[in-house]
Amino acid sequence: MRMDRGDPLSAYEVINGYSTRRLAEIIRDYGEERFASRIANAIDKARRSAPIETTTELSEIIRSAIPAPARREGPHPAKRTFQAIRIEVNGELAGLEKAVTDACRFLNPGGVIAVITFHSLEDRIVKNVFKDLQHPCTCPPSAPVCICGRKQELEIITAKPLTASGGELTANPRARSAKLRAARRLLQ
């Protein structure tokens, strides 16, 4: 991962420029990191004194944000966060998010969209697109009435994704990671 400042969207910009909340979301969603908030807070604390310039520096900040017992298990503690930042920088999954959103909007009223993914990160994006279109209102909970004007577009059919049955897995082991989610476009 490079930390050059010059790129239009660089790791430097993500780490030093994004809000703590957005950082935490990226680390959680793209890195599947359960200590995302702690890491985002540690990054924020460090960058308040001086911008984070190197991956070594970042790696140490992440390591220190993860509780000691969790640090000892598995790969290097910074690995998930680096993956998350790389995905954000490369926009690797942004194409999928847009494609699923567009597909939902092309549906006729009452039409059904079904998406099968083969990676948990992809599944999460489909899940979040469906959820956003089912509950699009961005008003704060304290608002007495909706003022953002965003209306529900979809109704989720699969509360949990469908996965392959034991029988199917025997016949086709590669179906193991497959997840199917479906939603119906509202009748207006």
103 binds Zn ion (CB under 5 A): no
Q: Which residue in 103, 121, 123 sits closest to 113, CA to CA?
A: 103
Q: Which is nearer to Zn ion, 114 or 146 (CB)?
A: 146
1 binds Zn ion (CB under 5 A): no
137 binds Zn ion (CB under 5 A): yes
Site residue total, Zn ion (CB under 5 A): 4
- Can you name the residues that pair with 183 across neighbouring β-strands? 113, 156
List 1, 94, 103, 139, residue binding Zn ion (CB under 5 A): 139
Q: Which is nearer to Zn ion, 98 or 135 (CB)?
A: 135
Task: Give the containing element (helix H, strand E) for 171.
Answer: helix 166-171
- Cα 185 to its chain centre, rounded Å, is 23
Question: How many CB atoms lie under 10 A from the CB of residue 186?
Answer: 15
Tokens of 40: 């985002």
Q: Which is nearer to Zn ion, 112 or 146 (CB)?
A: 146
135 binds Zn ion (CB under 5 A): no
Q: Which is nearer to Zn ion, 108 or 142 (CB)?
A: 142
Segment interacting with Zn ion, rule: CB under 5 A, options 46-54, 145-153, 154-162, 167-175: 145-153
Q: Whole-number minimum distance, CB 133 to Zn ion, in Å?
A: 14
Q: Which is nearer to Zn ion, 9 or 146 (CB)?
A: 146
Exposure string for 141-176, b = 16+ CB within 10 A, e = fewer: eeeeeeeeeeeebbeeeeeebeebeeeeeeeeeeee
- Can you name the residues that pair with 117 across neighbouring β-strands? 179
Helix (H, G, I), strand (E, B) or coil at 48: helix
Segment interacting with Zn ion, rule: CB under 5 A, options 4-12, 55-63, 104-112, 147-155: 147-155
List 148, 163, 172, 177, residue binding Zn ion (CB under 5 A): 148
| Contacts to Zn ion by CB under 5 A | 137, 139, 146, 148
